[in-house]
Each structure stands twice: as structure tokens, then as C-alpha cells.
Amino acid sequence: MRKDKRKEGWLVKIDNKPLQGYFTEIFNFNKGKKKPNYDFPKLIKSSDFKLRKACAIGVMIYDGVVRTKKEIGLNIGSKNLRDSVFNVLVADGLNITKLDKPDSTGMWKLYSSGKADKEQYKKGLNYFVKFSDKWYRIYEWIHGFRSKVKNPKNALIILERCFNKRSASKVTLTEIFKLFLLHKNLTISQLSNLLKIKNIIVNEGLLWDYTKILREMNILIKRRLSDNKNLYVYNPDTKSWKLPYRPYLSSYYV
């Protein structure tokens, strides 16, 4: 097995003909480039739920997404595979919605829907590797943030590592945190205008999601203004902050 840097993919070379037969005849893997609408192998699709769930877990571990707005989802190029994972998740009791059409990039999506409660999150945990970043983010939806820090500098490092920039993100949680360190008190509109100065245009719903996370960490406090707008106030009491925990960041915690 080796990585093909030119095609940004992985290549598997099997010289043993009997073993090739297992992949091509039993598991229905095709030689050459991956088929555009690949799916669970037929042997697994016709198997019991335990095997189909194991296959779905394998897909979710690598292609599953854990979104800022507390959604568990899947973005993948195959409609057939998306639908097979959807059927497993629904059978397992998760509230999941699938879109009828691919998005603008040709990806087929799943996302959690309906009432978001701790029981749903606990089921979602089973589809990710324990103690991975995706697993920790869902775990924190259930149990909250608990770790303490000495100063904003350490908090910044932790946020950068736990909420690193995704390919589709125009702004990160860390950048929002930095704006509050500088300006202290901001409404969503003021926050949006500060980003526009940097030529960053984002949906205000995303800013609401980010401020909600910072409130859950006790870094921000929400206050209602006389015009019914929400003012987000920076909390200078670092000892009261609650940050995400990751074992590889232990040197930054109190």
C-alpha cells in the first residue's frame, strides 16, 4: 500500500491471485479507479445488522463529520454508500436526514435532525474511534467542557488544536476568541462587521454557534440590551473558564 501524491489517493497492489479473487469476486472491489457510485460489498449488504453496522462505522470513522452546530453527518461522493449508511443509522435509532440531491461539489450528505438530546449523542459516539477528536467533540456535547487553564494564552492554544480550521471554513472559533480578547464586548452584528473589514463574509448563524460554544466554556456571558439585541461580554475571570480536554494538550491545563 502506498500513497499516490499525484492523484492524492492510496494505491493497494496485490500480487497474490487467490487474494485478488477475494477482493474482486467476494467483496466486489473493482480493479483500477474507484467506481463513482460504490457501496457496501454485496456480502455485507446481505448480512445481519451487526456486520452492516461495522461497515457503517468504518465509513463514518473516515468520512463522517461532527459539525459545530452539534450535528453528526456524512459527506461522500457515492449516493449508494450514503444511503446504505443512512439505513444503518436509522435502524440504530438515530434521527438522521438525507438530502435528495448532491451539493454544489457533488457530495451526498447526511446530517442529524430532530430533537438533539444526550441519548442521540451517545448513539453517535459509537460511530467514531474512542478518544479521537471527533469522539471528544460529541462526548463534550453530552458532558460539557471541564478543563481549567491558567491564562488566555493557554486557552488560545487549546482552541486552535481542538477547533482547527476546516477546508470549508471561512472563520475559526479561535479567530472569534481573539476578537473578544481585543474588543471585550460585541453583538453578533458588530462581530460580523469586524470580520467584513478583513474581507471575511460569514452567515450570522455561524457566529451565533461560535458564541454559544464560548458561552458554554464560560469565556463569554450573554446580556440582553434594551433594543432586544444580545451583547456578548468577555469574562476576564480565567479561573471560571472550562476548556475542552485532549490528553495531548495536558501541559496547558491547570
pLDDT at 171 over 60: yes
Residue 15 has a pLDDT of: 78
**Over residues 147-169, mean pLDDT:** 88
Q: Is the pLDDT of residue 30 over 90?
A: no
Q: Which of 50, 43, 103 is nearest to 79 (CA)?
A: 103
pTM of model > 0.75: yes
Q: Please state the CATH superfamily assignment of the domain spanning residues 37-143 in this structure.
A: Homing endonucleases (3.10.28.10)
Alpha helices in 173-251 (DSSP H): 173-183, 188-197, 204-216
pLDDT reading at 7 higher than 60:
no
The torsion angles phi and psi of 169, rounded to 5 degrees, stand at: -80, 135
Domain ranges in the chain?
A: 1-34, 37-143, 152-252
| % of the chain with per-residue pLDDT over 90 | 72
Give the pLDDT of residue 127. Answer: 97
Chain-centroid distance of CA 81 in Å reads: 19
pLDDT of residue 188: 96
d(CA 85, CA 63): 11
So what's the pLDDT on residue 8?
56
The answer to whether the 37-143 and 152-252 domains have the same CATH topology is: no
Separation CA 99–CA 111 (nearest Å)? 9
The helix or strand, by DSSP H or E, that contains position 65, with its residue range, turns out to be strand 64-67
Cα→Cα distances 185→83, 157, 173, 206, 210, Å: 45, 22, 16, 18, 15
Contact 33, 9 (CB under 8 A): no
What is the fold, at CATH topology level, of the domain defined by 152-252?
Arc Repressor Mutant, subunit A (1.10.10)
The model's pLDDT over 49-75, given as tens digits with 9 standing for 90+, comes to 999 999 999 999 999 999 988 999 999
Q: What is the mean pLDDT of residues 96-122?
A: 89
Note the pLDDT tens digit of each residue in 102-112: 998 899 999 99
Predicted local confidence at residue 3, as pLDDT: 66
Q: 104 by DSSP, 3-state: which?
A: coil
What separation in angstroms does the CA of 230 have from each of 24, 89, 236?
59, 37, 19
| C-alpha span between 3 and 25 (Å, rounded) | 25
Cα separations (Å) of 34 from 10, 21, 157, 243?
Answer: 11, 17, 39, 41
Most confident of 1-5, 94-98, 110-114: 94-98
Task: Return the SS3 of 137.
Answer: helix
